[in-house]
Amino acid sequence: MPSPRNPQLNQHGELIHLLSLDRLPRDILTHILDTATSFVGMNEREVKKVPLLRGKSVFNLFFENSTRTRTTFDIAAKRLSADVFTLDIGRSSTSKGETLLDTVDNLSAMAADLFVVRHSQSGAPYLIAQHVAPHVHVVNAGDGWHSHPTQGLLDMYTIRHYKQDFSNLVVAIVGDVLHSRVARSDIHALKVLGCPEVRVVGPRTLAPAGFESMGTRVFDNLQEGIRDADVIIMLRLQNERMSGALLPSREEYFKTFGLTPEKLAWARPDAIVMHPGPINRGVEIDSAVADGPQAVILSQVAFGIAVRMAVMAIVAGNDA
């Protein structure tokens, strides 16, 4: 049964759903990252499967468009030997008016063991987690502006892989922080893992001062924001989530906040550049940076499979 204090944990403090990185203790985050390490080398194996979820049914419920996240979850579940079913939302009964919970009930009746949920409404994965039977698990693949916990975890794995330790890092998160569930997940994880300085950098309309309450420093000047940074996480401009004119133009944004080789020189010489994707070249990042030696964007994608394998293996292995 879920803990009354945290619906993500069972009564023994073990992870049974992954809904958000907020309020998750450091030992659980570290356990996920450590478990992912054992899966990273699977790309080199002739047989890229382990039997940890053999006989389990994983249903991917993507109510919001996604390519990278959906594909990596699909690959991760299959590498764990699960039976994987991806719902075609456009042709499902939800398009005919069926409620979210009715959809979940019908799929649960088909012996679902784990739901991977992406939804435009914040809180949808929480609602499902509160509704399903105790043996069914829910993993949040992104909900509204709220949270994207597996992206946050794969970002932490990438940082740890290249920098080893969080305790002396300066991490700058640059761009459309206001609409970014990735930024929120990254900030929560970085603070829990002991990063001493997390910076939020962007136009005042997209990086409001309220983020200071999360323990970050807020900058509206790129040079000041990334000066001497060890890690730069660039964010996509999420035009689909914006209401009203928050920016003068994409060209003006790139001129002021787009990361070019010349601007990257303001950070530390060994700084790494990250991006959750998809990349808007010439808007938030120059191709010379995205394809350059300091970019670890493709490593993030590769590590994402291992991290999502770890999450599913852990939650499904912690049945109440």
Residue ranges of the annotated binding site are 68-69, 96, 118, 148, 151, 181, 236, 277-278
Binding-site residue numbers for carbamoyl phosphate are 68-69, 118, 148, 151, 277-278
Binding-site residue numbers for L-aspartate are 96, 181, 236
Alpha helix (H) residue ranges in 41-131:
68-79, 100-108, 124-131
Whole-angstrom CA distances from 300 to 105, 264, 295 are 34, 19, 10
Closest alpha carbon to 232 in 293, 306, 295:
295
d(CA 210, CA 65): 29
Whole-angstrom CA distances from 310 to 32, 146, 153, 167, 317 are 6, 22, 10, 24, 10
Q: How many CB atoms lie within 10 A of CB 201?
A: 28
Element (H, E) at 60: strand 57-62
Q: Are 180 and 235 in contact (CB under 8 A)?
A: yes
In this structure, what are the phi and psi dihedrals at residue 288, rounded to the nearest 5 degrees? -65, -30
Q: Are 48 and 311 in contact (CB under 8 A)?
A: no
